[in-house]
Structure 1
Amino acid sequence: MELRHLKYFLAVAEELNFTKAAEKLFISQPPLSRQIIELEEEIQARLFIRNNKKVELTEAGKYFEKEVRELFQHLERITIKTQKIAENVSGEFRIAYISSIYSSVISELIQHLKAEYPYVNFKLFEVSTTKQISALEQGKIDLGIIRSPIKSPKINSKLWFQDGFSVVYNKGLIQINSEKEIPNLKDETFIFFNKDYAPHYHEVLLELCAFYGFTPKVVHESNNINSIVQLVKNGLGISIVPSNIAKNNKDSEIGFIELKKVNLYTDVSLITSKEDDSEITKSAVEFLLQFKK
């Protein structure tokens, strides 16, 4: 079995049409059909159901397609890693983070890595937790910074710090002097993260409000923490944000009340691929772990 057999198989599996698959591969149809027959004979399994009207994958073919696609993804990761080794760790190093944790520490991380690896092109991406996990599994990023939980057999996760929560409000519109007054916010308009974008985080915010005895009236949603804070500043409502945001926000128009009575936290974690044992990844993780919040 050769790689071309697998590439031809995937083309037919995708198009479910030998003529279109042959055009996509820039070959004629008869050689393509022969290659597929050779592949089926070698693995002793029928992969396609063929008739004059249509082409379909058999159950064996569906399984084979899934495994072959994963094989090619793995091969791509191997190729990228081999290239990095050959180039003495040059090329790109891609770091993803969620908007609610960006701070000067990440800038310091880039400066630290740039000093150690001057030929590497470092790239930063603001990406949701769910998409980071998928991207890391596919080898599209090298390091992720997320809010847990995480369930993936392909990923290593290390706790960076635990983050509490704070109510954020416009000081000119709302007067809150202490955590005792939080129940009085039940009639206020709330701005939350979109439930589909950050489902776990959204549920935690609902739990926080329930602890203080009310269900929030969520009118506005956003997928970016900075946008949420700006909406609060513009007087469109109040919100509950990670306390890390309060520590890094110096805007005099914005007020924060930390929610200390409720025992709810989110874990901010550093995630890497289990297949990645590169020195640059180890250096990045070790650097960040020095800065426990």
Structure 2
Amino acid sequence: MELRHLRSFLVVAETLNVSRAAERLHLSQPALSRQMQDLEQSLGVSLFIREKGRVSLNDAGRALVEHARELLARSDNITSHVQAISRGECATVEIGYAPSLAAELLPLVLERLGRTHPSLNLRMHDLSSDEMNAGLKEGTLHLAYTVGAGVLHESGLIKETLITYPICVAMSRNHPWARKKKIELSDLAHATLLGYARHAYPEYPKFVEGILAAARVKPGRMEEFDSASSLLLRLEAGSGVSLVPLSFACHTAERIVLLPVSPDVPPLDLVMCWRRGQDWPGLRTVREVSAACGHELRMRRGKTTAAAKKSSGRSVGSKQ
């Protein structure tokens, strides 16, 4: 029994007409008839009820239809898998990521890779920038999605900026400041400032301290948390605020509001980082898909910003 005979059989079973089936298969009618005879001979059963000018399936033929579909689908999967192995796309890619900053991008990347490259095996690791730098240097990580400012400056690493996030102030919708249009940095002198723990994300406290020092602001009180989920729970309690990138919105429930900060502060870059010289097919595929998703997010944000400015302009004009 040959796979090509099964493919031809399914076309005959669908059309119940040897002439039309032969046309679809680009075969002569005698050649297709011989294939069906060879298939019946290999199985040792008749598959068709042959009448003058037409054919129909008998019980054995109807039973073979489902088996043939399953077998051909499995054959196609085997072919795709073996070809993917040959292209180097089935190796495991070890990936580190910063959860808050990559929360918007990573779901898009993983969904697309799962759809277009199902043979790729991705192992994801929630790590600090220091841990990602060490993993890239030691070879235990192949790729990292991390804060641009946290990447080691050495010739052995390559980084590509995927998207840039402005800094916002996050708070509960029940917080007294939630109705403001923006938050002044000087306001933080009277607030409980919530943030990530130094031992878990050492680059975050340094970033926040730099912002506050430049504005000559000292918060009234500071609390540290070792994960985005614990920080979010504390924010929902309503008594504190946090300086976070706009990507934090992907974590928040409806009870959290993110407001712009004034004056403007340096944004955070989400970068993709890998070791120079690592360019095998599976890793290259992940990088290419990540770059494409980053571009789509930038374009989407640009359109949203333009629409908001246009709407704001109409509102101002209507008041004059």
Q: Same fold (TM over 0.5)?
A: yes
For the structure 1 residues 206 and 104, does the alpha-carbon distance in structure 2 shift closer, same or farther, using more than 3 Å as the test? Answer: closer
Corresponding residue of 2:128: 128
Q: Tell me, what secondary structure is at the counterpart of 1:289?
A: helix
Corresponding residue of 1:63: none
- The one-letter amino acid paired with 2:140 is K
Is residue 2:194 matched to residue 1:191? yes
Corresponding residue of 1:31: none
Corresponding residue of 1:245: 248
Corresponding residue of 1:76: none
Corresponding residue of 1:79: none
The count of corresponding residues between Structure 1 and Structure 2 is: 209
Is 2:128–2:202's contact at 8 Å kept on the other side of the alignment? no
Aligned pairs for 1:136-215 (under 5 A) are: 136-149=136-149, 150=151, 151-176=153-178, 177-179=180-182, 181-215=184-218
Corresponding residue of 2:108: 108
- Aligned equivalents of 1:229, 1:189: Cα separation in 2: 14
For the structure 1 residues 157 and 252, does the alpha-carbon distance in structure 2 shift closer, same or farther, using more than 3 Å as the test? Answer: same
Is 1:191–1:238's contact at 8 Å kept on the other side of the alignment? yes
Q: Normalising to structure 1: TM-score of the pair?
A: 0.63
Corresponding residue of 1:232: 235
Q: CA RMSD in A?
A: 2.5
- Aligned equivalents of 1:141, 1:282: Cα separation in 2: 14
Is residue 2:194 matched to residue 1:221? no
Q: Tell me, what secondary structure is at the counterpart of 1:219?
A: strand
Question: Cα deviations across residues 5-42 of structure 1 (Å, max 9, x unaligned)?
Answer: xxxxxxxxxxxxxxxxxxxxxxxxxxxxxxxxxxxxxx
Pick aligned residue for 1:289 from 272, 288, 291:
291
- The one-letter amino acid paired with 2:242 is S
Pick aligned residue for 2:263 from 250, 261, 269:
261
- Aligned equivalents of 2:112, 2:183: Cα separation in 1: 43
Is 1:99–1:226's contact at 8 Å kept on the other side of the alignment? no
Task: State the 1:141 CA deviation.
Answer: 1.7
For the structure 1 residues 186 and 279, does the alpha-carbon distance in structure 2 shift closer, same or farther, using more than 3 Å as the test? Answer: same
- Aligned equivalents of 1:106, 1:85: Cα separation in 2: 24
Q: Which range moves more in the overlay, 103-112 or 134-143?
A: 103-112
What percent of counterpart residues are identical?
Answer: 15
Q: Normalising to structure 2: TM-score of the pair?
A: 0.58
- Aligned equivalents of 2:257, 2:183: Cα separation in 1: 15
- Aligned equivalents of 1:85, 1:118: Cα separation in 2: 12
Question: Cα deviations across residues 139-180 of structure 1 (Å, max 9, x unaligned)?
Answer: 212210000232233211111122211111122132340325
- Aligned equivalents of 1:241, 1:221: Cα separation in 2: 13
For the structure 1 residues 159 and 105, does the alpha-carbon distance in structure 2 shift closer, same or farther, using more than 3 Å as the test? Answer: closer
Corresponding residue of 2:71: none
Q: Tell me, what secondary structure is at the counterpart of 1:270?
A: strand
Structure 2: gaps (5+ residues): 1-83, 299-320
Q: Tell me, what secondary structure is at the counterpart of 1:152?
A: coil
Q: Tell me, what secondary structure is at the counterpart of 1:257?
A: strand
Corresponding residue of 2:97: 97
Is 1:243–1:258's contact at 8 Å kept on the other side of the alignment? no
Is 1:183–1:214's contact at 8 Å kept on the other side of the alignment? yes
Is 1:156–1:272's contact at 8 Å kept on the other side of the alignment? yes
- The one-letter amino acid paired with 2:193 is F
Task: State the 1:181 CA deviation.
Answer: 4.7
Task: State the 1:258 CA deviation.
Answer: 1.4
Task: State the 1:271 CA deviation.
Answer: 0.6
Task: State the 1:232 CA deviation.
Answer: 0.7
Task: State the 1:229 CA deviation.
Answer: 2.0
Q: Tell me, what secondary structure is at the counterpart of 1:282?
A: helix
Task: State the 1:284 CA deviation.
Answer: 1.4
- Aligned equivalents of 2:92, 2:109: Cα separation in 1: 15
- Aligned equivalents of 1:94, 1:260: Cα separation in 2: 39
Is 2:102–2:247's contact at 8 Å kept on the other side of the alignment? no
For the structure 1 residues 218 and 129, does the alpha-carbon distance in structure 2 shift closer, same or farther, using more than 3 Å as the test? Answer: farther
Is 2:100–2:228's contact at 8 Å kept on the other side of the alignment? yes
